[in-house]
A and B are shown apart, each in its own frame.
Chain A
């Protein structure tokens, strides 16, 4: 069923090294895509890509040859502006061709600036997102449907830290434990920066672990660039019964490109040709 992903978080060191290598190539694809598009969000795509890669090629049960099969795992990218990370993995998995990546944000492309589920179906574009704060509710609905169908599949939702400021996120944080959705995993790409500045200055989320525990989630905190740690967190989520799991993943905005790392200014600006070349040289080492 799953030619591109074993569909389990259990991976040995050799496999983790393979995933790290895929993530490195995905970073190159993200930079190339954004440079060609001339706009987009490199910072939040690069902070998310290690976890998106691990989901796509290790955790999720999915089949690019049969993208609509009802028992596939669902992945909702609530931080829709990070979608270049998903598109890179879609091409690697065979949902779209590598050539199609060059059409990102162009007229007539299936690869819209933010996820559009009716244009192309794949993990990460399971729902339209981009107005922040909506994805966790949609993921919750999918998890409820899965429960009605006898736990047919699992649901993963990745959020950005800025969007945790939206009230609707806290509605969903309140409701998912009520429905005992142990088939739902929320993942926070906590890169600490948003458009207007650092998250702690714009509207601080802390103390976050305490808040999420108080909302009755099972909470795990990891380094979001450590694929092994991420996979162990997902395995822990699978073993947690009766409540949903929230993975707080500390990440670095623009991770992997020295001049983008930790820089608020690289939230929503595409690299120019020369910048892209420098970034790719770094990534190719």
Chain B
């Protein structure tokens, strides 16, 4: 069994390490430091950690002010709560070109039992539409660590989307993160699955199952949803005969599926299947049951790809 770790956990550990070398890094949280794992930074660097209480709007504006005065703030909460304060992100952060890292944990239905109110399912769509806002979702703990290092020097606002649940490690420890580039994890030419976040490991498992059926399916990790790697997406679609699948624990409206469809619609019209939440709310349940229900686990992805290619 390979290593399993939540990307929020990897984030907290990486952030606490980054704090040692970078004195300009500051962290804010809105009474969820225990859950987002920003508490690991808070314990080590209490002077550079700001507990904002349950005031997400105020936290975002404060982070913008810190950034405009030269700091590198990471503002943390659940993805749904932090991107829900949209007006503050739109004006104080994005339009001000403030160097804020907006960190949204508890992505998707995999939050599980707590139900829809805690599940970030629209955040990629909301952040993607803002000019200059980068959107990054790492696939495992190794990639998360690399992304946090990268974010120390990235210029401009960023939304970083992380999981509550453990995800399978798919990268070697010497992995190099390349912002704005897709990563091909598995070759194939009958179809390509573009996956992001927790769906990447499930897509890899799905590709293994499909191979047993005689289908050769490429798997591409889209860690940077914005700016999307247009060339990389088109190249993979072309190599796979224009048979394209996207997989994300997010609404298919406005998320990775939309982003890929927009690019291919302009550059290489393809037949597409978008796997994700299809215009429905989340609900309570175990993460496994929810992934089964929405076809987001390996078996569900494989089944839908088989039907799609039939």
A contact set with B: CB distance below 8 Å: 70, 74, 76, 116-118, 126-131, 134-146, 148, 167-168, 171-172, 174-175, 179
Contact = CB atoms under 8 A, between A and B. Distances in A.
A148 B91 CA distance: 25
24 contacts: A70-B70, A117-B96, A127-B64, A128-B91, A128-B96, A130-B91, A131-B90, A131-B91, A134-B57, A134-B91, A134-B92, A137-B59, A137-B92, A140-B62, A141-B73, A142-B66, A144-B50, A145-B70, A148-B47, A148-B48, A167-B57, A175-B52, A175-B55, A175-B62
Contacts of B92: 127-128, 134, 137-138
B66 A126 contact: no
A128 B65 CA distance: 11
B53 interface: yes
Interface centre among B55, B60, B90, B91 (most CB of A within 10 A): B91
Contact of A134 (B52, B53, B67, B88): B88
What is the interface of chain A mostly: helix, strand, loop, or mixed?
helix
B91 A168 contact: no
Interface string B217-231: 000000000000000
A128 to B, nearest CB: 4
A21 B47 CA distance: 45
A201 to B, nearest CB: 25
A144 B53 contact: no
A143 B91 CA distance: 19
Indicate the size class of the contact surface on chain B.
20 to 34
A117 B64 CA distance: 12
B126 to A, nearest CB: 16
A175 B87 contact: no
A67 to B, nearest CB: 13
Contact of B61 (A74, A116, A140): A140
B69 interface: yes
B88 A116 contact: no
A72 B95 CA distance: 22
A168 B58 CA distance: 6
B94 to A, nearest CB: 9
Contacts of B68: 117, 126-127, 138, 141-142
Given A168-B57, A168-B61, A137 B95 contact: no
B63 interface: yes
A127 B65 contact: yes
A222 to B, nearest CB: 26
Nearest to A127: B96
B53 A116 contact: no
A232 B121 CA distance: 52
B97 interface: yes
Given A118-B96, A179-B50, A137 B71 contact: no
Nearest to A169: B58
B26 interface: yes
A70 B47 CA distance: 21
Contacts of A138: 61-62, 64-65, 68, 92, 96
Nearest to B64: A138
Contacts of B60: 137
Nearest to A80: B91
B55 A174 contact: yes
Contact of A144 (B55, B66, B87): B66
Contacts of B95: 116, 118, 128
The 10 closest A-B pairs by CB, nearest first: A141-B65, A137-B61, A145-B69, A171-B58, A141-B62, A138-B65, A171-B55, A141-B66, A142-B65, A128-B96
A66 to B, nearest CB: 15
Contact of A168 (B73, B88, B97): B88
Given A117-B96, A141-B66, 13 more contacts: A118-B95, A118-B96, A129-B91, A130-B91, A134-B88, A137-B57, A137-B61, A138-B61, A140-B58, A141-B63, A143-B65, A175-B55, A179-B50
Nearest to B28: A141
Contacts of B57: 134, 137, 167-168, 171
- Pick the most buried of A140, A141, A167, A174: most chain B CB atoms within 10 A of its CB: A141
A141 B69 contact: yes
Given A118-B96, A138-B92, A148-B26, A175 B61 contact: no
Contacts of A118: 95-97
Contacts of A128: 91-92, 95-96
A172 B69 contact: no
Contacts of B67: 141
Nearest to B23: A148
Contacts of B62: 137-138, 140-141, 144, 172, 175
Nearest to B94: A128
A141 B61 CA distance: 7
